């Protein structure tokens, strides 16, 4: 395998793995937020803002992966 092929594979892996885990985490977060809203519709506003913040913090991990992938792709 040429080094270019390895770099391309590494870029694909970086984005794939860093999408998988946060996606699971975000799914779990959204699930429990929806359950809480269904149980207590009065608190929907507070739950929603906390939900958006936690989703954004998880999203950051994916973005780091994306960044690494772009840096690797630039080297091919």
Give yes or no for residue 20 binding other proteins (CB under 8 A).
no
Q: Provide the angle, in degrees to the nearest 10, between the axes of the packed helices 44-73 and 3-39.
A: 180
Which range binds other proteins by CB under 8 A, 5-13, 22-30, 31-39, 54-62?
54-62
Q: Measured from the CB atom, is 10 or 58 closer to other proteins?
A: 58
Q: Measured from the CB atom, is 2 or 57 closer to other proteins?
A: 57
CB-based contact 51:30 (threshold 8 Å) = yes
Rounded to a whole number of angstroms, the minimum distance from the CB of residue 45 to other proteins is 7
CB atoms within 10 A of CB 8: 16
């Amino acid at each position: 395998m040429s080094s270019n092929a390895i770099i391309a594979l590494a870029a694909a892996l970086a984005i794939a793995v860093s999408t998988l885990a946060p996606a699971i985490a975000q799914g779990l977060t959204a699930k429990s937020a929806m359950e809480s809203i269904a149980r207590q519709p009065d608190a929907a506003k507070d739950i929603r803002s906390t939900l958006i913040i936690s989703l954004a913090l998880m999203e950051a991990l994916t973005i780091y992966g994306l960044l690494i992938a772009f840096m690797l792709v630039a080297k091919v």
